[in-house]
Structure formats: C-alpha cells, structure tokens
C-alpha cells in the first residue's frame, strides 16, 4: 500500500547530466531533478545499516535491496525514455511523476533516448543510508541514496557518461515496512 501522506509524499530524484557521442555532435541532457544528495562516509553507512537491521527491520538485507534498486532504476529509466508514465505508478510518487513528465516532455527525441540505461555499462553505489523517527509516533523513515553512472558511446571520455542519483524511501509503520519508493530529497 502506497502511503500518500502530504507531509511524507514520496518523490523521485534523478540527476542525469550529459552525453556526447563525438566532439562535433553534442547532445546535452539537462538535470531532471536538481537537488544533490550529501555524501556520507562508508563508516556512517555501515553503522546505519547495522542500526536499521538491529532495531527497525531484522530482515534488512543489503544484497536484496540493491538488486531491487537496480531493477527499479532500469524500469524507471526505460519508462522515462518511452514517456510511459503509467509504469512509474507504485515506484515513484504522483507528485514526482508530474515533475518528471513536465521535464521529459520538453526534451528532444535524442535526449529522451539517453534516459534509457545500458545495463552493460551501468554501475551504482550507496551514497547515503539514513533512518529518521517521525515526531510523535513510532513510525520510521529509512532512506537510501544511490549514485550511478552509465556509459554510452566510444571512445570513453568524460562527456560519454550519464550520472544519476536516486533516493529510495521506505516507511515503517507499527514495525511493518511499506514499499520502497523513489523520492525527491
């Protein structure tokens, strides 16, 4: 069940920078979402993981979560490249879908093609992992921010990469975890 509390509306943060196939033909891809997620140290991420696993969700499993995150990123990128916004329901909040729809609809067809991630050249890592208690209740929000990069085109140059950032959020209500949703930070 997707919780749609206005105060905790879940959004999508996707930051995709640019791509250049060759120096004479540049295809710029403006950021779809502009807020940057602060980076945390590996020690803090590890400590947060242990805290969440011991106190919030005893079944919290990094490998399983990362597999799910990878699948969600691929589904979202493919849906955006094809302007299939219905495929984002349940993965991305309605408010974020509205923002993404507006921005993607203003991209050129060449720019929209760049939104699809090539699985052969895709990698991502955890940028931050946090948990927050909701004031006045026992509910907890867990957020995982991931940064990723995909390469398109050869030769490999700085301009041949697309950078992304997703923030996934899960609300635990009465000890039960809801769905992981991509959100704006």
The pLDDT value given to residue 34: 66
The pLDDT value given to residue 126: 92
Contacts of 142 (CB under 8 A, 6+ apart): 52, 56, 57, 129, 130, 131, 169, 170, 172, 177
The pLDDT value given to residue 94: 84
The pLDDT value given to residue 3: 32
The pLDDT value given to residue 17: 36
Listed range (29-33, 88-92, 112-116) with the worst mean pLDDT: 29-33
pTM: 0.78
Instruction: Characterize the bridge pairing of strands 122-133 and 140-151.
Output: antiparallel
Residue 184 confidence class, pLDDT cut points 50, 70, 90: low
What CATH number is given for 38-182 in this structure? 3.10.450
**Model confidence at 11: pLDDT above 50:** no
CA–CA separation, 82 vs 77, rounded Å? 9
Give the helix ranges, DSSP H, for the chain. Answer: 42-51, 62-81, 94-105, 109-113
Report percent pLDDT > 90 for the chain.
46
Where exactly are the structural domains of the chain? 38-182
Whether a cis peptide bond, with omega within 30° of 0, leads into 155 is yes
Average pLDDT of the chain is: 80
* Residue 37 vs residue 66, higher pLDDT: 66
**Model confidence at 21: pLDDT above 50:** no
């Amino acid at each position: 069940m997707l919780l749609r509390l206005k105060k905790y509306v879940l959004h999508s943060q996707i930051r995709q920078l640019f791509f250049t196939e060759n120096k004479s033909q540049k295809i710029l891809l403006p950021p779809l979402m502009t807020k940057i997620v602060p980076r945390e140290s590996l020690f803090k991420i590890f400590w947060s993981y242990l805290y969440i696993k011991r106190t919030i969700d005893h079944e919290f499993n990094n490998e399983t979560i990362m597999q799910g995150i990878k699948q969600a990123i691929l589904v979202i990128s493919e849906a955006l490249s094809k302007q299939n916004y219905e495929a984002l329901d349940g993965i991305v909040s309605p408010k974020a879908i509205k923002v993404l729809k507006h921005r993607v609809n203003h991209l050129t067809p060449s720019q929209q093609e760049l939104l699809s991630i090539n699985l052969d050249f895709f990698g991502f890592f955890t940028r931050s992992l946090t948990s927050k208690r909701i004031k006045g209740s026992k509910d907890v929000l867990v957020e995982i921010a991931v940064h990723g990069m995909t390469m398109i085109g050869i030769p490999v140059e700085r301009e041949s990469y697309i950078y992304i950032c997703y923030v996934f959020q899960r609300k635990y209500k009465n000890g039960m975890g809801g769905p992981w949703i991509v959100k704006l930070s």
